[in-house]
Amino acid sequence: MQIDHRELNEVRSAQGKEKVQAPGLSIGVRQLIKRFGERQVLHGLDLDIAAGEFIAIVGRSGCGKSTLLRLLAGLDTASSGGILLDGQPAEVLKDDVRMMFQDARLLPWRTVIQNIAIGLDGSQREIRERALEVLGQVGLADRADEWPSRLSGGQRQRVALARALIHRPRLLLLDEPLGALDALTRIEMQRLIESIWKQHRFTALLVTHDVSEAVALGDRIVLVEDGRITLDEAVALARPREHGEALFAQRESRVLKRLMTVEAINNRNQIRGRISEIVVDSVLSEVRILTASGLVTSTVLTRSLSEQPLEIGAEVLATFKSNEVVLAT
């Protein structure tokens, strides 16, 4: 394995900066713990990722998935435990890791092409050539000299992707980069990321709260719950995966259900009961749930009710936020 890499590196240096792609990095996460003051976010997390794999990490907000990514990117340091990239401490290969953030984080005072060239050394002409090449890969070659403020949200993320790609990363970290995009643009971007990943064969880690995105892109889906991995399963569907397909939908609903069950294990701020009545209105509907301690009324968006229909008599779990609880005497 080691020898293979060395040979490849020799080939790379022999051909200058030719198109030989660096293979993906393998990742080993061992007993990773991260605390922010009193609060512990990661509780001894273990994770192994093979070189070139595409991992989708799902979980509720605040579960620690973004923290894991930031630790991998070297943006934060772990409280204890370690991260190995290709068997070496993470700092050694820091330059082979690139991150795509939730917002594009383009410098507004630099043009698109200057943003992509950030942190690169070399002659102006060579940099421009390479920047134009990656811009072409994300389909924005004609916008090279514009200001980022003239671009749409999806286009900005494309530029951010190009900015990461120009460094030929061996590990690309994606921290919910598509979260703020509309549904159509999001699917477009998923296709783009997938095709670029196929072409470059880097290791990819995508954090997302969208299960269907995880199923569309991940070789494996990893569920992080309360700072631990509670589900890690391979997705053996052929690529490109169609959102409408039966197998796709089946997988998606399984992961979703699992996500819900894990939630149910947490017994704080929850009341179990049976739906007794559903009052449908144009925007907000009311679902009345009969519980052991009386009738509970939950207000639900009519839209989400039509997406996930409920039936009278079904057993449900009503959860409420801790900050909505008022204790009266």
Partner 1 sequence: MSQKSTLLNRLRGALIPWLLPVAILAAWEIAARVGWLSSRILPEPFAVLKAGVALAATGELWQHVKVSSLRALTGFAIGGGLGLLLGLLTGSFRKVEIALDTTLQMIRNIPPLALIPLVILWFGIDEMAKLFLISLGVFFSVYINTFHGIRSVDPALIEMGRSYGLTGWSLYREVILPGALASILVGVRYALGFMWVILIVAETISAQAGIGYMTMNAREFLQTDVVLLGILLYAVLGKLADVAARLLERHWLKWNNSYSAA
Residues of this chain, 176-195, that bind partner 1 according to CB under 8 A: none
Contact residue for partner 1 among 23, 28, 74, 81 (CB under 8 A): 74
Residue among 239, 100, 249, 256 nearest 178 (CA): 100
Asked if residue 280 binds partner 1 (CB under 8 A), the reply is no
With residues binned 3-state (H G I as helix, E B as strand, rest as coil), the percentages for the chain, rounded to 5, are 35, 30, 35
Asked if residue 110 binds partner 1 (CB under 8 A), the reply is yes
**Under a CB-based contact definition with an 8 Å cutoff, are residues 289 and 273 in contact?**
yes
Tell me which stretch binds partner 1 (CB under 8 A): 27-35, 102-110, 194-202, 253-261: 102-110
In the complex, minimum distance from the CB of residue 57 to partner 1, in angstroms, rounded to a whole number: 19
Backbone angles phi, psi at 270, to 5 degrees: -135, 145
Asked if residue 130 binds partner 1 (CB under 8 A), the reply is no
What whole-number distance in Å separates Cα of residue 42 and Cα of residue 282?
Answer: 42
Asked if residue 105 binds partner 1 (CB under 8 A), the reply is yes
Asked if residue 118 binds partner 1 (CB under 8 A), the reply is yes
What whole-number distance in Å separates Cα of residue 86 and Cα of residue 112?
Answer: 33
Asked if residue 279 binds partner 1 (CB under 8 A), the reply is no
Contact residue for partner 1 among 73, 112, 224, 275 (CB under 8 A): 73
Asked if residue 28 binds partner 1 (CB under 8 A), the reply is no
Asked if residue 109 binds partner 1 (CB under 8 A), the reply is yes
Whether a cis peptide bond, with omega within 30° of 0, leads into 240 is yes
Number of H helices and E strands in the chain, helices first, is 9, 14
Contact residue for partner 1 among 25, 42, 85, 101 (CB under 8 A): 101
Residues linked to residue 45 through DSSP beta bridges, in sequence order: 32
In the complex, minimum distance from the CB of residue 147 to partner 1, in angstroms, rounded to a whole number: 5
In the bound state with partner 1, the residue whose beta carbon lies nearer, of 26 and 114, is 114
What whole-number distance in Å separates Cα of residue 291 and Cα of residue 191?
Answer: 45
In the bound state with partner 1, the residue whose beta carbon lies nearer, of 158 and 163, is 163
Asked if residue 163 binds partner 1 (CB under 8 A), the reply is yes
What whole-number distance in Å separates Cα of residue 233 and Cα of residue 222?
Answer: 7
In the complex, minimum distance from the CB of residue 107 to partner 1, in angstroms, rounded to a whole number: 6
In the bound state with partner 1, the residue whose beta carbon lies nearer, of 75 and 295, is 75
Backbone angles phi, psi at 37, to 5 degrees: 65, -125
Tell me which stretch binds partner 1 (CB under 8 A): 144-152, 214-222, 248-256, 289-297: 144-152
Residue among 80, 77, 113, 116 nearest 94 (CA): 77
* Residues binding partner 1 (CB under 8 A): 73-75, 95, 98-99, 101, 103, 105, 107-111, 118-119, 147-149, 163, 167
